[in-house]
Amino acid sequence: MFLVQMNSQSLATSCTILALLLAAPLSEAAEPAGRLQAKQLDGRVRVTVANQPFAEYVYQGYAKPIVYPIYGPGQIAMTRNFPLRKDVPGEPTDHPHHKSLWLSHGNVNGEDFWLEKGQIVHQRIQSVETNPSHVVITADNNWVNRQGKTVCTDTTRVGFLELAGGARAIDYDVTIHASHGPVTFGDTKEGFMAVRTHPALQLTGDPKRGVTAANGHAINSHGVKDKAMWGQRAEWVDYSGKIDGQMMGLAMFDHPGNPRHPTYWHARDYGLVAANPFGVSDFTKQKERSGALTLAAGQDLRFRYRIVLHRGDDKEAGIAKLYEEYSK
């Protein structure tokens, strides 16, 4: 047995240190260094949070860069697997161009990038910025039509971060460059910033095709719900429902600095959620109104969006407050 003699001052100091250690929040004490990390792999960048999968930015192998897979809080998969994986039962197999999370448009100088007739071709990764609070991937892409001509180029920054309350977020910050002459984004509902949700977040199922898990509900920032949201303008939309028995949700935010904010929404009952500032005649049913937008040669145009992956519905997740914070 070892005996340690301490004077009253040493004993008081030791008690103070012990009290501080006991008072420290357990969550902070258990927090690993570098919660968010990135690893460059062949044709993709993998992002993890606390050593668990978060998402992958995939820039080769498809007609456009995409983000897949995507995991929300609790490691719940938040987007449809098809057509990237075709072995998952209970998933709808419509619209194979709906690949998890992506940005494209159905009429750019007459070319259809939405249906993947034209391709958004990765050129290079500029940088992968990593710190404990976020990962930001910056990449350059060429928009190439079926004749092999570059229509325009872009600089895409995709950020991955955690929000207060445990939600996760993916930020898209895309600048279109009219680097090869004038660029016109035509008026069509087929675009622009888009995600295909997990089938459980769909508002309607398709029992004939085995899609029976759909139990979703949707709401936008103006309180419009479910199918009535389609074609409406709003700052944000949110889809929520039970995935694997847990109440989960996915929201998309339109940044106040975006062209024609608040945007129109190509938001479907089968799980497509797309912010589209161009499809005005389709959304308003007024053919005389055109949402086409033209950039003169040499001009740039910036778009910013946030996708929030959360527990609960929009009220429980505080989506309105999270949008307010994002908009500032």
Spell out the residues 6+ positions from residue 3 whose beta carbon is closer than 8 angstroms to its own: none
pLDDT recorded at residue 89: 87
Secondary structure (3-state) at 238: strand
CATH 2.70.98 fits 35-327, yes or no: yes
pLDDT recorded at residue 3: 35
Domain residues of the chain, as ranges?
35-327
Please list the residues that pair with 307 across neighbouring strands: 170, 252
Separation of alpha carbons 266 and 283, rounded Å: 8
Query: What DSSP assignment string belongs to 206-228?
Result: BGGGTB-----EEEETTS-BGGG
Taking only the tens of pLDDT, the chain with its 328 residues reads 333 333 444 434 333 333 333 333 333 333 344 699 999 999 999 999 999 999 999 999 999 999 999 999 999 999 999 999 998 988 999 999 999 999 999 999 999 999 999 999 999 999 999 988 999 999 999 999 999 999 999 999 999 999 988 999 999 999 999 999 999 999 999 999 999 999 999 999 888 777 778 999 999 999 999 999 999 999 999 999 999 999 999 999 999 999 999 999 999 999 999 999 999 999 999 999 999 999 999 999 999 999 999 999 999 999 999 999 999 9
Residues found in the chain: 328
